[in-house]
Chains A and B, each alone.
Chain A
Amino acid sequence: MRNLRRYLKDAGVGIATLAVFLLLWELLARAVNSPFIPGPYEVALAFVRLATVGDFDGYTLLEHSEVSIYRVLLGFIAGTVTAVPLGLVMGLKPTVKTAANTIIEPMRFIPPIAWIPLSIVLLLGLSRYVFLLWIGTFFPILLNTIAGVRHTSPTLVNVAKTFGASNSEITTKIVLPSALPEIMTGLRVGLGIGWMCIVAAEMLGGDPVGLGRLILKYANFLQIDAVIVGMVLIGVIGMAMNYIILILEKKMFKYRVEVLT
């Protein structure tokens, strides 16, 4: 009952803030009165047009979103299957960490956009997109996995050792489950950053579908209302993906959430 009331209150505050924001935006757009600064009403019209009729190539918003989500998920999967095992090994073996960091640390600061020329030269088709999105997801997952491994309680490792656990049993029964909450945080952040790289990835061109491509297409014609539709959609989908993993984290690590709160 109390929760419901609080929920309704939060929802009310959220809706009110959104309404004020849209109102101010509309007023500002009308005051400026420029074809390059559309108000929320024009953006909404563009949204309906793009959602039902589609863009000038005939692709609807649903198709753009599906393709982008598909690409990001592939990049995210590639990031997960590479970063989690590498992070485990780097967390467990300091020598591997030192060795790998010589290459990985400087690479971490190269923005995905800088990889575009190389990926055009080296890769074809879908793999170009996946590669760029992999770059985006890889590092947060890697760093969180290493941190998770490092935070494993030495006492728990000793308990396993006194029961005669082998190194692989210590990894699977102690290190992995104890690092899992941090790995999940890494997955959530990685997916978010991967999603933020979607525009960079879809700059690669070729394919006319995808939310990033939608933005680029309309940017060329200076149709800012459609550009904003693409931007808002990227924001909302990113938020939804983050939220889904947050819920999953809460369910998986009930023991942790209850300790923290």
Chain B
Amino acid sequence: MSHMFSLESVSKSFTADTGTIDVIKDITLNVEEGQFLCIVGPSGCGKTTLLKIMCGLEQPTSGKVLIKGVSPDPKVQKFGVIFQEESLLPWRSIRKNVEFGQELTDRKISNELTEKYISMVGLEGFENYYPHQISGGMKKRVAIARALAVEPDIMMMDEPFADLDAQTRWILQKELLSIWQKLHKTVIFITHNVEEAVFLGQKVAILTTRPATLKTLIEINLPYPRDRLSPPAISFREKIIEVLRCEVPTI
């Protein structure tokens, strides 16, 4: 049986003037359909490189990435990738931004899908606004709606909420979970925020410092909706921080 998503001893190194730099070393990981996986690692450990490899923007130096058994190819498969940075097209309205993904993947636009996902992320009434007119949290909602509107097999998110204020981040985390439960999407969520990982993920993969290897995979067997401050949630957090502390002693 093939997994929804798997990394098979994936490694990546870059050649620089000073020699070869290993960024990712021998990561093997499986994600089943409908699962929510969080990947946590110290900053600068190569998480973003890993995401680029996972969605086919970059090729691994060795090893394989498989999505439903084949190498990721955005020209064939549909991905919903959310980046940490500002990713909306400033010259397009919110509606046109949400349609952007469909334009490229399906070569046609379905009003029904556009409207469905705009309302799912709670942006009805803002369709004709432009990105500069809305808040940071709303921009993230647009990016999520744009990714969902192509009806992707898998969602990959790279620290999507890192530059939001705590309150907005909490709200968006909750909404992301409710969307995930509604649509049964497979989600891979990269973060450096331990609290976020424990609140969201069914599994948390912890990476080491560079070169990033898979240190531990922890299963968070807590029912949703989770209470951030419940004793089991806190003990999961402590467990993850304990593992990370071995990597970065100053945490």
Q: Is B219 part of the binding interface, using a Cβ–Cβ cutoff of 8 Å?
A: no
Q: Is B236 part of the binding interface, using a Cβ–Cβ cutoff of 8 Å?
A: no
Q: Is A10 part of the binding interface, using a Cβ–Cβ cutoff of 8 Å?
A: no
Stretch at the interface among A29-37, A156-164, A228-236: A156-164
Which of A162, A253, A254, A259 makes the CB contact (< 8 A) with B74?
A: A162
Which of B57, B81, B131 makes the CB contact (< 8 A) with A255?
A: B131
The 7 A-B pairs at the shortest CB distance, nearest first, are namely: A163-B104, A164-B74, A162-B81, A164-B75, A155-B85, A163-B101, A259-B132
13 new A-B contacts at CB < 8 Å, known A162-B56, A162-B79, A253-B91: A153-B85, A153-B86, A155-B85, A159-B83, A159-B100, A160-B104, A162-B74, A163-B74, A163-B100, A164-B73, A178-B89, A178-B90, A178-B91
Q: Is A66 part of the binding interface, using a Cβ–Cβ cutoff of 8 Å?
A: no
Task: Note all chain A residues with C-beta closer than 8 A to B76.
Answer: 164
CB distance from A162 to the nearest CB of B (A): 4
Q: Do B90 and A159 touch (CB < 8 A)?
A: no
Question: How far is B89's CA from A156's CA once the two chains are assembled, in angstroms?
Answer: 7
Q: Is A207 part of the binding interface, using a Cβ–Cβ cutoff of 8 Å?
A: no
Q: Do A159 and B91 touch (CB < 8 A)?
A: no
Residues of A within 8 A of B (CB): 153, 155-156, 158-166, 169, 173-174, 177-178, 180, 253-256, 258-259
Of all chain A residues, which has the CB nearest B102?
A163
Of all chain A residues, which has the CB nearest B74?
A164
Q: Do B104 and A164 touch (CB < 8 A)?
A: yes
Q: Do A258 and B132 touch (CB < 8 A)?
A: yes
Q: Do B130 and A255 touch (CB < 8 A)?
A: yes
Q: Do A159 and B87 touch (CB < 8 A)?
A: yes
Question: How far is B76's CA from A258's CA once the two chains are assembled, in angstroms?
Answer: 38
Q: Do A164 and B105 touch (CB < 8 A)?
A: yes
- Assuming the contacts A161-B57, A162-B79, A163-B100, asked whether A174 and B89 have C-beta atoms less than 8 A apart, the reply is yes
Task: Note all chain B residues with C-beta closer than 8 A to A180.
Answer: 91
Q: Is the interface of A mostly helix, strand, loop or mixed?
A: helix
CB distance from A144 to the nearest CB of B (A): 17
CB distance from A148 to the nearest CB of B (A): 13
Question: How far is B52's CA from A115's CA once the two chains are assembled, in angstroms?
Answer: 51
CB distance from B108 to the nearest CB of A (A): 14
Task: Note all chain B residues with C-beta closer than 8 A to A165.
Answer: 104
Question: How far is B91's CA from A174's CA once the two chains are assembled, in angstroms?
Answer: 10
Task: Note all chain B residues with C-beta closer than 8 A to A164.
Answer: 73-76, 78, 104-105
Task: Note all chain B residues with C-beta closer than 8 A to A155.
Answer: 83, 85-87
CB distance from A214 to the nearest CB of B (A): 43
CB distance from B159 to the nearest CB of A (A): 13
Question: How far is B142's CA from A108's CA once the two chains are assembled, in angstroms?
Answer: 44
Task: Note all chain A residues with C-beta closer than 8 A to B145.
Answer: none
CB distance from A27 to the nearest CB of B (A): 51
Question: How far is B87's CA from A174's CA once the two chains are assembled, in angstroms?
Answer: 11
Of all chain B residues, which has the CB nearest A169?
B104
Q: Do B75 and A159 touch (CB < 8 A)?
A: no
- Assuming the contacts A158-B83, A255-B130, asked whether A163 and B150 have C-beta atoms less than 8 A apart, the reply is yes
Task: Note all chain B residues with C-beta closer than 8 A to A159.
Answer: 81, 83, 87, 100
Question: How far is B100's CA from A177's CA once the two chains are assembled, in angstroms?
Answer: 14
Q: Is B55 part of the binding interface, using a Cβ–Cβ cutoff of 8 Å?
A: yes
Question: How far is B72's CA from A161's CA once the two chains are assembled, in angstroms?
Answer: 12
CB distance from B178 to the nearest CB of A (A): 24
Task: Note all chain B residues with C-beta closer than 8 A to A163.
Answer: 74, 79, 100-101, 104-105, 150
Question: How far is B92's CA from A256's CA once the two chains are assembled, in angstroms?
Answer: 12
Q: Can you list 9 A-B contacts (CB < 8 A)? A: A153-B86, A155-B83, A156-B87, A158-B81, A159-B87, A163-B150, A254-B130, A256-B90, A258-B133
Question: How far is B169's CA from A151's CA once the two chains are assembled, in angstroms?
Answer: 30
Of all chain B residues, which has the CB nearest A258?
B132
Question: How far is B75's CA from A258's CA once the two chains are assembled, in angstroms?
Answer: 36
Question: How far is B89's CA from A165's CA once the two chains are assembled, in angstroms?
Answer: 15
CB distance from B78 to the nearest CB of A (A): 8
Of all chain A residues, which has the CB nearest B156?
A162
CB distance from A216 to the nearest CB of B (A): 45
